[in-house]
Structure formats: C-alpha cells, structure tokens
Structure 1
Amino acid sequence: MNVQERLLYRDEQLSITVTETPGIPAVTLSGEVDATNSVALAGALASCRRGRHVVVDTSRLTFIDVSGLRVLAMPALEPSQRWIRLHNVTPYQQRLLHLMGWSYQPTEPHPAP
C-alpha cells in the first residue's frame, strides 16, 4: 500500500498533517486551534477532501476554542452533509461539543497507515 504523509499547515501553535492512503484522507492536528488559525484549518481540511469524508484525529490538540470547534463540527450543516469525521476526540473536546449543543458521533476506526 502506498502511504504518504505530508504537512498541510504549520504556525507557532498548530501543525496539520495528512496521511494519504487509497480512500479517505486522515488528518492529524497537533497543538492549539484558536481564532488566529481556524481559517487556515478550514482551508487545509478542504484542500485534502477527495471524496465523501476526511477523518480528523484531534487527540494531539492541547487546546481548541469555539472557532476551531465550529470548523470541525460543521454545526451549520445537516449531519448527513458533514464531511469531517472526528477521530480520537478527547473527553475535554467531547464536553465542549456537548456544551455547544453540537452533536458528536464517534467514527469507526480507520485503517492505520
């Protein structure tokens, strides 16, 4: 299997990498997401969308604010239209999503690269 990891974005707070495998891209977020980089996060995720979904691993995030959660949860869209699938969501992140009233459905594990 041909697996490639590449950097999509990096600033002083956040690093976004994507693992390209046949099928669904797997994106890993590391660091902090806030109002200073949430627009870049949205652009990076949109740039790697190839099909119906993009899997986003949030386990390495140390902080995320409402602007970042809005990018990941896509609350303005109906659940069936949301193309971001969250993976490894921490209890803290789950609690924030719940407090915001944005439903969260765990994804099934995707194959490891």
Structure 2
Amino acid sequence: MCSVQQRLLYQDEQLSITVAMASEAPVVTLTGQIDATNSPALAGVLASCRQNTGTNAAVRPDPCPYVDVDTGALTFIDVSGLRVLVMPTLPAGQRWIRLHNVTPTQRRLLRMMGWYYQPTVHHAPL
C-alpha cells in the first residue's frame, strides 16, 4: 500500500495550506479561513504548486496543467479568496485550478457571484 505524504506549505493564524503530490496533479488542502489578509499568500502557493510539479525537473519540465484544491475544510472564504480560486479574469480554457469538496455555502457564494459554472468544480473524492 502506498501512502501519500502531505507537506505544509503555508500557515498563519487563520489558514493552513498543505499539498500532496498525486500522479496527475498536486492536491492542495485548505483548512481554516481565507480573507484579504492571506489570499495573496494563497495565490502564491497555488502558483508555486503548479510550477513545482515534481522533484525531478527532467520528468516534468512544464507546469502542471492543473492543481486540485480541496476546499471542504474551509470555515470562511471572502471574495478575495474566491477570486484566487475561481480565476474569473481568465478565459475558462486557461483556468488551472480544479475545486473539490466544495461546501453548500461555497457553492451558494459562487452562484451569487455568477461564477459557479465558470470554475471547474469536481465532486469526486480525491
């Protein structure tokens, strides 16, 4: 049996970000709260995860086409955090974040912002 090792990438008083490298894409887990104070850090961590898709650059020299983000353990997210995850300024074909475990409250916020059908929201377990 193979175990997946998670690494802590970021932590502040409100938010913890961990990553596990899966065969296809990094799986980022968000725990806690995202607001304007830590959404820039979230954006940087996600961009870094996309670039650092493996330990051997010769295996995968290009950025990963997407990053899977598990939002199920978030207790709060404001519009600045949603913007980071949804990437509304990019055309749909250029978005590289896939959301997993989106809570009913998060879905409601996404619908209210008119973004629900724009991001890739996956309901399958990671």
User: Normalized against structure 1, the TM-score is what?
Assistant: 0.91
1:93 aligns with 2:94: no
Deviation, 1:3, is 2.8
Deviation, 1:72, is 0.3
Structure-1 residue corresponding to 2:60: none
Correspondent of 1:56 among 50, 54, 69: 69
Contact 2:101 2:123 in 1 (8 A): no
1:26 aligns with 2:27: yes
Separation in 1, partners of 2:121, 2:48:
23
Deviation, 1:2, is 6.5
* Cα RMSD for the two superposed structures: 1.5
Separation in 2, partners of 1:80, 1:55:
16
Amino acid at match of 1:96: L
Larger-Rg structure: 2
Structure 1, gaps ≥5 residues long? none
Amino acid at match of 2:124: P
Separation in 2, partners of 1:108, 1:101:
19
Correspondent of 2:83 among 70, 73, 76: 70
Structure-2 residue corresponding to 1:5: 6
State the identity %. 64
- Count of aligned pairs between the two proteins: 111
- Residues 24-65 of structure 1, C-alpha deviation per residue, up to 9 Å, x if partnerless? 110000000000000000001111113101000000000000
Contact 1:13 1:33 in 2 (8 A): yes
Structure-2 residue corresponding to 1:84: 97
Detail structure 1 runs of 4+ shifted over 3 Å in the superposition: none
Deviation, 1:102, is 1.0
